[in-house]
């Protein structure tokens, strides 16, 4: 590492804990940055050799350096757009939701359509908010709010009326209209049914998309993130906005884009996806993935299961038959796409793995890095198939704890046997799977630190007095940190340049306010990001750092 003659670095960070996330999980004390890349990593005693008169030296005083985080599954562009609308993510009860909406509606009398997102299904009885509650606030203007996980929506009477939804309206394919006793629409629209209303709303303008991307980027940088995988780009304007931001040189985030495989179209859509992919890559923007929604979610009984939900003959919703899914995956794989599938229930996971196995059999094996996102239930027989097929387990660690979603809306409906193997991250790791972490923001927070806390403890930071959810399924801290850095870089095809703190890699680094490897440093979710570097440049610095 130290070779006698050393060029002075631009920046030396020293005197703390440097978790490198390299293959040996090496811990060092100092790092030198030169020309946007990591020049040296080693002990603090040698750091001075790399400093010259022009070198900026940051003394860590026992704090931590990590590779900058990468989010392997999120929805940053639309979530950034939503941040300018009525945001319900901080409202934890029905009353708080209604107060927030009333305030927003009063502040925006100019809006013909009142739109927002972020309500939580555990704030409402049966997870189904009513149109009557909204009508009391918004009797005249159409109003529509997507929930936190993006699967359900809440509409008022005016919006339902404009969409022509009545007691006589059948449930659309892949969706369900919640209904009252007489069959009249109750106000909640599950899965595909939400599009009956949503499609009427004026779409976000290109300027709103671009502003949304920049808003999300700034927020992510403040949380230590320098790369994200946008899990579903389903409109040309979404991709065009990324390109516009990249063209102006304003994209400081490395972006992996996934084009949505639409269930409304057939195999001919492959030509459009190929065209979009060919036009998509620019600067830090890359498009190489295709996203498929294989099922829904367990909380509204649309996650696809091998055995039915408790006391019912409901197996959930498969968005595609196993045969259709296989044909789509084989086709996408043959055209060189990285296939990224939303899979919650154990049948969705099995169908997805079967389809990927067929793709390998028919097309041969290549460096495809296909991945399955979320993995709430995996049948034990399927655990080893991730390693066998080289499929990355792209999981959302924040969800793996006791919460209203798990305790009230899931466990009673899937029963004890399946509840005993929920979010099987430890089992996947023991079966040799590579795990990467994705927040699914704005479904849940995009702050990696509380997500890491849950990965290690299986306990939510808001309820630290609750018992862990299946403690055997926790990952240790080095494995958890690697899932948000090195392994996320792998699934983002960025590991040659990022994801670990090693010489010659880009200096995408974060500084935390404490030694997070010290068990005495307190819960991870309480730690703070002080500095985020992208290629050696600060894209976020806490004012307290005096950077
Ligand atoms: Zn998602």
Query: How many Å lie between the centroid of ligand 1 and the Cα of residue 51?
Result: 44
Q: Work out the average pLDDT over 112-120.
A: 92
Q: Work out the average pLDDT over 276-292.
A: 94
Q: What tokens does 442 get?
A: 């704005």
Distance CA 33, CA 57 (A): 10
Query: How many Å lie between the centroid of ligand 1 and the Cα of residue 345?
Result: 14
pLDDT score for 2: 47
Query: How many Å lie between the centroid of ligand 1 and the Cα of residue 365?
Result: 26
β-bridge pairing 254-260 and 285-293? parallel
- A 10 A CB-CB count for 185 gives 23
Report CA Rg, the chain: 24
Q: Work out the average pLDDT over 497-512.
A: 98
- Tell which wins on pLDDT, 280 or 37: 37
Query: How many Å lie between the centroid of ligand 1 and the Cα of residue 256?
Result: 14
Query: How many Å lie between the centroid of ligand 1 and the Cα of residue 342?
Result: 7
Query: How many Å lie between the centroid of ligand 1 and the Cα of residue 483?
Result: 17
227 pLDDT exceeds 60?
A: yes
Query: How many Å lie between the centroid of ligand 1 and the Cα of residue 228?
Result: 12
Query: How many Å lie between the centroid of ligand 1 and the Cα of residue 533?
Result: 26
- pLDDT-based confidence at residue 7 (cuts at 50, 70, 90): confident
SS3 29: strand
Query: How many Å lie between the centroid of ligand 1 and the Cα of residue 275?
Result: 23
Query: How many Å lie between the centroid of ligand 1 and the Cα of residue 32?
Result: 36
Distance CA 532, CA 521 (A): 21
Query: How many Å lie between the centroid of ligand 1 and the Cα of residue 307?
Result: 24
* Residue matched to tokens 């995408």: 508
Q: What are residue 74's phi and psi, to 5 degrees?
A: -155, 175
Query: How many Å lie between the centroid of ligand 1 and the Cα of residue 293?
Result: 9
- A 10 A CB-CB count for 182 gives 6
Q: What tokens does 313 get?
A: 């003959």
390: left (phi over 0), alpha (psi -120 to 50) or beta: left
Residues 6+ apart with CB under 8 A from 73: 229, 231, 340, 373, 374, 394, 396, 438, 439, 440
Query: How many Å lie between the centroid of ligand 1 and the Cα of residue 74?
Result: 6
Query: How many Å lie between the centroid of ligand 1 and the Cα of residue 199?
Result: 20
pLDDT score for 1: 45
Q: Give the residue ranges of DSSP H helices in 223-345.
A: 236-247, 269-280, 322-334
Q: Count of H helices and E strands in the chain?
A: 17, 22
Q: What tokens does 540 get?
A: 């976020």
Query: How many Å lie between the centroid of ligand 1 and the Cα of residue 76?
Result: 10
Distance CA 188, CA 174 (A): 15
- pLDDT-based confidence at residue 6 (cuts at 50, 70, 90): low
Query: How many Å lie between the centroid of ligand 1 and the Cα of residue 75?
Result: 6
Q: How many Å from the N-terminal Cα to the C-terminal Cα in the chain?
A: 28
Q: What tokens does 61 get?
A: 């005083």
Residue-averaged pLDDT of the chain: 95
Cβ atoms of 311 and 340 closer than 8 Å: no
Query: How many Å lie between the centroid of ligand 1 and the Cα of residue 457?
Result: 23
Query: How many Å lie between the centroid of ligand 1 and the Cα of residue 443?
Result: 7
114 pLDDT exceeds 80?
A: yes
CA distances from 264 to 258, 268, 303 (A): 17, 11, 20
Query: How many Å lie between the centroid of ligand 1 and the Cα of residue 166?
Result: 30
202: left (phi over 0), alpha (psi -120 to 50) or beta: beta
Name the most confidently modeled range: 3-17, 144-158, 367-381.
367-381
Q: Find the range with the poorest average confidence among 23-27, 43-47, 122-126.
A: 122-126
Query: How many Å lie between the centroid of ligand 1 and the Cα of residue 440?
Result: 5
Q: Work out the average pLDDT over 11-37.
A: 97
Cβ atoms of 328 and 320 closer than 8 Å: yes
Cis peptide before 122 (omega within 30 of 0): no
Q: What tokens does 318 get?
A: 């498969």
The fraction of the chain above a pLDDT of 70, given in percent, is 99
Query: How many Å lie between the centroid of ligand 1 and the Cα of residue 258?
Result: 11
312 pLDDT exceeds 70?
A: yes
Query: How many Å lie between the centroid of ligand 1 and the Cα of residue 118?
Result: 14
Distance CA 547, CA 541 (A): 6
What residues form DSSP beta bridges with 537? Answer: 534
- Looking at 322-425, which runs of residues are DSSP E strands? 338-343, 371-374, 392-395
What are 330-350's pLDDT values in tens digits?
Answer: 999 999 999 999 999 999 999
pLDDT score for 202: 82
Largest CA distance in the chain: 83
Q: Work out the average pLDDT over 470-489.
A: 98
SS3 385: helix
Distance CA 247, CA 239 (A): 12
Query: How many Å lie between the centroid of ligand 1 and the Cα of residue 48?
Result: 45
149 pLDDT exceeds 90?
A: no
Query: How many Å lie between the centroid of ligand 1 and the Cα of residue 14?
Result: 38
Query: How many Å lie between the centroid of ligand 1 and the Cα of residue 523?
Result: 27
Q: Give the distance from CA 20 to its chain's centroid.
A: 23
Query: How many Å lie between the centroid of ligand 1 and the Cα of residue 536?
Result: 30
């Amino acid at each position: 590492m130290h070779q006698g003659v050393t060029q002075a670095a631009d920046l030396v960070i020293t005197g703390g804990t440097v978790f490198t996330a390299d293959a040996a999980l090496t811990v060092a004390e100092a790092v030198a940055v030169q020309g946007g890349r990591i020049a040296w990593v080693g002990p603090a005693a040698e750091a001075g050799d790399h400093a010259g008169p022009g070198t900026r030296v940051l003394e860590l005083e026992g704090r931590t350096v990590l590779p900058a985080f990468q989010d392997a599954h999120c929805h940053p562009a639309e979530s950034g757009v939503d941040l300018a609308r009525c945001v319900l993510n901080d409202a934890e009860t029905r009353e708080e939701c209604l107060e927030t909406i009333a305030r927003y509606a009063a502040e925006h009398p100019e809006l013909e359509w009142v739109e927002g997102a972020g309500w939580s299904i555990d704030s409402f009885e049966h997870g189904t908010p009513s149109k009557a509650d909204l009508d009391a606030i918004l009797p005249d203007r159409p109003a529509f709010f997507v929930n936190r996980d993006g699967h359900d929506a809440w509409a008022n009477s005016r919006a339902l009326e404009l969409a022509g939804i009545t007691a006589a309206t059948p449930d659309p394919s892949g969706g369900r209209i919640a209904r009252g006793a007489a069959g009249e629409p109750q106000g909640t629209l599950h899965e595909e049914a939400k599009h009956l209303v949503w499609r009427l709303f004026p779409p976000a303008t290109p300027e709103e998309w671009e502003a949304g991307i920049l808003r999300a980027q700034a927020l992510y940088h403040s949380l230590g993130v320098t790369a994200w995988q946008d899990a579903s780009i389903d409109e040309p304007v979404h991709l065009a906005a990324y390109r516009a931001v990249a063209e102006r040189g304003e994209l400081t985030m490395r972006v992996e884009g996934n084009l949505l495989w639409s269930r409304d179209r057939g195999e001919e859509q492959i030509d459009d996806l190929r065209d979009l992919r060919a036009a998509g890559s620019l600067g830090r923007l890359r498009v190489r993935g295709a996203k498929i929604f294989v099922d829904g979610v367990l909380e509204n009984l649309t996650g696809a299961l091998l055995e039915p939900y408790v006391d019912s003959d409901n197996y959930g919703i498969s968005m595609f038959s196993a045969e259709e899914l296989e044909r789509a995956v084989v086709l996408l794989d043959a055209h060189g796409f990285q296939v990224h599938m939303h899979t919650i229930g154990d049948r969705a996971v099995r169908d997805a793995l079967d389809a990927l196995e067929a793709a390998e059999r028919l097309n041969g094996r290549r460096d495809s890095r296909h991945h399955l996102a979320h993995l709430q239930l995996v049948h034990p027989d399927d655990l080893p198939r991730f390693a066998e097929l080289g499929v990355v387990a792209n999981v959302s660690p924040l969800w793996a704890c006791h919460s209203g979603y798990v305790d009230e809306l899931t466990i009673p409906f899937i029963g004890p046997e399946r509840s005993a193997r929920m979010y099987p991250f430890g089992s996947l790791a023991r079966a040799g799977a590579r795990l990467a972490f994705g927040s699914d923001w704005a479904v849940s927070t995009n702050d990696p630190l509380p997500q890491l806390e849950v990965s290690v403890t299986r306990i939510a930071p808001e309820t630290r007095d609750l018992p862990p959810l299946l403690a055997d399924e926790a990952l240790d801290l080095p494995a958890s940190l690697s899932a948000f850095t090195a392994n996320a870089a792998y699934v983002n095809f960025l590991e040659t340049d990022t994801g670990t703190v090693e010489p010659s890699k880009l200096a995408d680094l974060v500084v935390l306010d404490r030694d997070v490897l010290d068990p005495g440093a307190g819960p991870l979710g309480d730690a703070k990001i002080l500095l985020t570097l992208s290629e050696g440049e600060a894209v976020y610095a806490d004012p307290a750092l005096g950077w």
